[in-house]
Chain A
Amino acid sequence: MIFRKSTSIHISEHPGHKQLSLFTPPSEYKKPEMVYIPLVEGDPCEAVVAVGDHVLVGQVVAQRKGRFGLPLHASVSGEVTSISKKMWHASGMMVNMIEIKNDFKETLDPSIKPNDVAKLTPSQMIEIVKNCGIVGLGGSGFPTFVKYSSKCEIHTLIVNAVECEPYLTADYVLLKQKTDELIRGIQYAMKMSGASHAYICIKQDKVQAIALLEDHLQDHISIFPVKDVYPAGWEKYLVQRVTNQTYKMLPSEVGVVVNNAATLIAMCAAIEENQPLVEKMVTFTGQGLAHPQNVLVKIGTLANEVIRAIGSYADGVTDANFIVGGPMTGRTLLFDSVVIHRSLGGIVVMPKESSAPALPCMGCGKCVEICPVFLSPVLIKNAVDKKDKDLMIALKADKCMMCGLCSYICPSRIELTDAMSKARATVLKR
């Protein structure tokens, strides 16, 4: 292996995009009439409750199957009214969801009670993290317990508080609100993984958050400032910067565990209180909203309800995109009645960019230069156009991590990222 550091770029477009959701202090929306627990999360999930059952907050309602199996919990107490395809999932499809009618009593499941943290062994902690359904909240939704069950020896914990996706500020707001919990979560994570040192990676321009973190720092935890570039929050980028090493599949190959800051905060609650993942900080932002802000919501809430509660859409914005996720990697949906599942970080409603059609590629090679995984998007796109599967394989289209930089940089507005995802799917299907 030849070690090369991935490229990155400062996104200078849309100045002030992060500030947009910081004008209004974060709010809460915890009383939805209905919540929907999607029965898909990477793998299919199986419902363990039936229509008509009464469920409590934090009660297991479904189980994700397969190697990454872990439970899904009810986020409100009430009655299961249906299990059907009713509402939109962030994937752009309708999937089966458990519909729970809120009785507004917030009755907690008896399993939610404080743990005697000092007596917990690392393996018990991992079990708790699994049973509380903690997944990566940075967007991947990767089950957290898997990272700590690795057989490799771990020496470093990287806390990802970079949030490089433009517009989104949920992690930043959460980190400022719950700095203590974050530090405790880091300490538990270090205990679970056996890491001797933890680095909190955060963008160097977030001076307030860095100052706050410095006040709370404990032994063996330090701050690792990163540049304001995209994709600085990408796992591989952080591992390269912190350890000067790179890996093929998982960071554990080089003795590193990477966890999102919000995940660690959720993990802290899970280990101390047995609190399952039922609430989540989500950024609702974009020029298309009247009052962009961060909202603490119950998992399974409908996004359009939250948007109506925080002041609806901005006037005069007629031609806007409704983006689930962030503006670089997110997906547009046709309808705003999308269910907030547990790894969804933000909803961005922003006016459509110019819809000028793509020009022919002039071959400047900017997409090749920018690609953080050293792919050649323009050549792969040509292979996709010619349906040349062998070439796609030879050019390793499956390495693409869908960061969106090739389409971002293209001066001719060619949909390279779209072609890359097709090529990636073709190669992976092989």
Chain B
Amino acid sequence: MNEQRKFPLGKAPFIRKADSSVSTSRMMRDLLIALLPLVIFAWVKNGLLPFLHGDVGVLGMLYPLLFIAAGALSSMLIEGLYFMIFMKETHVAKRLQESFALIPGLLLAMILPLHTPIWVLILGATFATLVGKLIFGGFGYNLFNPALVGYLFIMTAYYGVIVGNGGYLNASEMTIEAGVTPLTHFFGNPNLDLNAIIAPYGNIGNFLFGLHPGAMAETSAILSMIACVYLIARKVINWRVPVIYLSGVFVLTYIIGAFQGYALDLRFPLFQLFNGGLVFGAVFMATEPVTTPRTPNGKVVFALLLASLTVMLRFTSDMSEGVATSILFLNMLVPLIDRSMAKVRVEGTSRHVIITYCIIGVVLLAIFGFTMMQIGV
């Protein structure tokens, strides 16, 4: 009497953003698009310009591109081998695409000094992929940022090799009398005043555009910032971490500078902001979704802690570069931050909320207070 038609079952909701616009694969594609100008800049600065000046040959001109490609390919290769040998995977190419295998090696190559020997890079990329990613269970499960795991490994084990091989300065920068990167110059000569620190590199604008010695692709603050705007507009990353992290560092270093007599000189905080891997790290490392908080208020707390830790490490430890270490350290705390912030977010009672934020405030003050004490102001 009543003929019924059969239908497949599904799960609500039946409209998914992933089907039409923001999907994981599109987000990764956008990330690569955002990285492309930085790769090109690295090539122009470290390969093309020295070549035009006659400082390097054709191979030297192409070297930056080969270097970055080698990093990306080796981490892809390692993950491919892992899928083939240990997982007995049949669709390796598809799995590699789904787990974004080239990202760790690509990012690693971009933050290493130009004169890192390729074998060190390959070793680092292998370490990044294996220890940073695969032993945790692959993409989505890793606790630490894989690229930074590889970076810290190289910097602790092979720093001497890199320095022996030529270090940070490209062929055209050998003429710079300071002979080191601006940050090393700054922390190595605590008695020099700011003008003397900046003088060997031109002016503060050079730091913004990235025409100063530094790691492969992270020197250009302006390009990283443009990439940041693009990624935020494409909803790939959230604005909270980069914006709060960078402005946090700016404010804290301004306070430090003010105590050292640069209260009216914004070049002090800007010098700190544009140098080292700070902007690159804030845009590409501190926003890496897997290893950073999921909760919006957690992201704010994470960024504030990052800012104070970075400043502390820069001004109190031997390592002039605090970005990588502070990001890795806070990666470890992400589950804790997320869980407590998720509870605060859903909680309606104000007491719990106030107590939690008070604890975080005290921690932030303690870190900054310690920094100020160490500097001795």
Contacts and interface: CB of A to CB of B under 8 A. Distances in A.
Contact of B238 (A1, A320, A365, A404): A365
Contact of B12 (A1, A2, A328, A362): A328
Contacts of B15: 11, 13-14, 166, 327-328, 353, 408
A328 B11 CA distance: 10
A109 interface: no
A2 B348 contact: yes
A336 B6 CA distance: 7
A417 to B, nearest CB: 6
A323 B20 contact: no
Question: Which applies to chain A's interface (DSSP): helix, strand, loop or mixed?
Answer: loop
Interface string B116-139: 000000000000000000000011
Interface string B203-244: 000000000000000000000000000000001001000000
Interface in A137-160: none
A2 B353 contact: yes
Interface residues of A, number: 69
A368 B4 contact: no
Contacts of A349: 7
Contacts of B23: 411-413
Interface residues of B, number: 53
Contacts of A396: 346-347
A374 B295 CA distance: 10
Contacts of A327: 12-15
Interface in B1-60: 2-24, 26-27
Contacts of B293: 365
B65 interface: no
Contacts of B74: none
Interface string A1-23: 11000000001111000000000
Interface stretch (B163-171, B185-193, B336-344): B336-344
Interface string A404-422: 1101111111010110000
B295 A353 contact: no
A375 interface: yes
B18 A363 contact: no
A389 interface: no
A13, A335, A365, A410: most-surrounded residue (chain B CB, <10 A):
A365
Contacts of A322: 5, 7
A395 interface: yes
A335 B294 contact: no
A417 B11 contact: yes
B12 A13 contact: no
A118 interface: no
A417 B7 contact: no
Given A359-B98, A362-B290, A352 B8 contact: yes
A399 B232 CA distance: 30
Contact of A350 (B5, B14, B349, B353): B14
Interface string B263-294: 00000000000000000000000000111111
Contact of B295 (A11, A332, A368): A368
A154 to B, nearest CB: 23
A321 B14 contact: yes
A399 B5 contact: no
B7 A333 contact: yes
Nearest to A380: B342
Interface in B278-323: 289-296, 299
B304 to A, nearest CB: 17
A85 interface: no
Contact of B342 (A350, A395, A411): A395
A166, A331, A364: most-surrounded residue (chain B CB, <10 A):
A364
B307 to A, nearest CB: 19
Nearest to B295: A368
Contacts of A363: 140, 289-292, 294
B297 to A, nearest CB: 9
Contact of A407 (B16, B289, B346): B16
Contacts of A413: 16, 18-19, 23
Contacts of B294: 363-365, 367-368, 376, 378-379
A233 to B, nearest CB: 15
Given A330-B14, A411-B24, A395 B8 contact: no
14 contacts: A320-B7, A322-B7, A332-B7, A335-B4, A335-B6, A360-B139, A362-B290, A364-B294, A365-B293, A376-B342, A394-B343, A407-B11, A408-B13, A409-B22
Given A2-B353, A366-B235, A404-B13, 4 more contacts: A14-B15, A353-B19, A409-B17, A410-B18
Ranked nearest first, the 4 interchain pairs of A and B with the lowest CB-CB distance are A360-B140, A404-B13, A365-B294, A376-B342
